[in-house]
Amino acid sequence: MAKISFEFPDGSVKEFDQGVTTEDIAKSISISLAKKSVAGKIDGKMVEIDLPLEKGGKIEIVTKDTEDGLKVLRQTASQLLKAALADQFNNIQFGESTSDEDGFFVDTDKRDSQVSADELPQVEERINKMVSDNVKIERKVLSLEDALKQVDGDPYQAKLVNELAEDGQVVFYQIGDYLGLGEGVVLPEAKAVKEYKLLSVAGAYWEGKSSNPMLQRIFATAFYKKADLEEDLKRRQEAKERDHRVIGNKLDLFFVDPKVGAGLAYWMPNGATIRRVVERYIIDKELANGYQHVITPVLMNLDAYKTSGHWQHYREDMFPPMDMGDGEELELRPMNCPSHIQIFKHHIRSYRELPMRIAELGMMHRYEKSGALSGLQRVREMTLNDGHTFLRLDQIQDEFKKVLGLMVEVYKDFDIKNYHFRLSYRDPKNTEKYFDDEEMWSKSQSMLKGAMDDLGLDYVEAEGEAAFYGPKLDVQTYTAMGNEETLSTIQLDFMLPERFDLHYVGEDGEEHRPVMMHRGLVSTMERFIAYLIEVYKGAFPTWLAPKQVKVIPVSMEKYGDYAKKVNSKLAALGIRTSVDDRNEKMGYLIRDAQTNKIPYTIVVGESEMNSNQVSVRKYGEQDSESLSLDDFIKEIQEDISNYSREK
């Protein structure tokens, strides 16, 4: 029999008989390795553990404890899910199925009605039966012609077949009577899929385009160990309780309605109040740190974005230009940089004005695909806490340190602790996507690194994460689901001043080119408030809470006037307060205030009225405290002024 050679990750080379499987190779190394093996990777391409290999190459043995190994399990579970659905629903069609670090999903379509969450337990029963019977999963290779015949009548699968075909062949998997398209390597037996869970269903457009049919997406997850599944489900429950979309609905903070505009947030009074407090805080903070606040239009001539490079680099994320009919094309701005450049260019600038700090809560628009939209975290209209500083080369490091210091100050006020720094450089192997100036990149990257080292801060370095015009420092944090996202950024830019021909008059009376520093303290208002909702689980500190005090009279008829008097005095001091005058039992009104996570509930009755006192109950506490009205006012004012930090 012919021999084929494999090179292992350690550089060693071994010969095997042609037709050997990855499982056979693993067994030749050790029985324990074979037990952990779930697939092979030949020259970087995943193959089934039991697939006979006809050619040699570089080999990796994929085990259960790797990301690829977990992906194989989830792809196997995905195939079992499709087989179970096909068994339960005769008229079901399948769209995309994908596994990732968060689990897997299968898109489905039914002619009569979509799969409901109530039907998932029945689907699980069918999967359990396949697992307990250890149904075999057999790999089949069909010609493209036969594959299209197999999926005839299912337009989604027909398109996927054409996309997945290699050399005129398509992989399918046979599970009992079900023969389904393979969208990734799977295990040969169902018994491995013991620890799985069907999680939820949600609508998803075919291929993520709103012009396409809406399919039903079934979300699920799977693990090799029961403990890992239980830990994941626990994490998901915690995340669900912190999900800003769920809390936003319960507390009436905001809503997004695809019928009136997907990805466009409507801020209800409660949510608008939180946003207003954050915006006022940011503006006051920036003004105190030398920024000049401006307001610029959301529309701009398209030529500005061609000059800046945004049109060339981010065209797919921008809305189509508006033809004004006279040769002018206006664009909804995706970035505020060109607008602030116009502010700088409007006057002749002197070196004495530098560093010149310009800031704005600037509304922007980006064309996010429908499938990517999510509550306030991924929207099509957003307001960025944006700032641009124009400065001399010798001012860069000092300004960088000042901006970073301001960021840390802001994090402290919002009680943000779980973050880390990432220095983002260009990819030296893919320079085409970046501004072509080798000296600029070398100089600017070393400047940011030098500033971080001077400050003694820990950071990670990430090649390929820079903006197309310069390196940046990103401050990374985590959402309730554990996803990493950028909270703040400082970006150095030598390119835009060049493209827009910016200059200032130096001490020598000559024109010089400024450097531009982009920075955002807290990302967009939408994303930041989504983050705050999840961090605080809707129980906002007093200074941020949309309603800070609820005044409840024991009897509206007897003590309503005193309740209104207390309320008026608090309101006159800028405290967000209201009287609950509903004709309900006291216990219900107090519970309702707690449910709505109001920081202070005040109850007033005869003794409080006669002694000018209030009975105060803080959110999350069972006991009440009697205080004079003046003492309560002093306490809540201190609470607000110190950003609700512990004394």
Per the annotation, binding residues for Zn(2+) are 337, 388, 518
**What is the CB neighbour count within 10 angstroms for residue 150?**
18
CA angle 397, 399, 405 (to 5 degrees): 105
Q: From the annotation, which residues make up the binding site? A: 337, 388, 518
Cβ-contact 386, 413 below 8 angstroms:
no
Cβ-contact 592, 613 below 8 angstroms:
no
Q: How many Å apart are CA 190 and CA 104, to the nearest integer? A: 16
Q: How many Å apart are CA 130 and CA 150, to the nearest integer? A: 23
Q: Regarding beta strands 265-267 and 291-293, do their DSSP bridges make them parallel or antiparallel, or are they unpaired?
A: unpaired
Alpha helix (H) residue ranges in 133-192 = 144-150, 155-164
Q: How many Å apart are CA 473 and CA 141, to the nearest integer? A: 49
Q: Which residues of 2-15 are buried (b: 16+ CB within 10 A; e: fewer)?
A: eebebeeeeeeeee
Cβ-contact 16, 25 below 8 angstroms:
yes
Q: Regarding beta strands 57-63 and 37-42, do their DSSP bridges make them parallel or antiparallel, or are they unpaired?
A: antiparallel
Q: How many Å apart are CA 448 and CA 458, to the nearest integer? A: 13
Can the peptide bond before residue 52 be classed as cis, meaning omega within 30 degrees of 0? no
**Which H helix or E strand runs over 131?**
helix 120-132
Measured over the CA atoms of residue 210, residue 212, residue 218 and residue 222, the dihedral's sign is negative
- Return phi, psi of residue 378, to 5°: -130, 105
- Return phi, psi of residue 65, to 5°: -90, 20
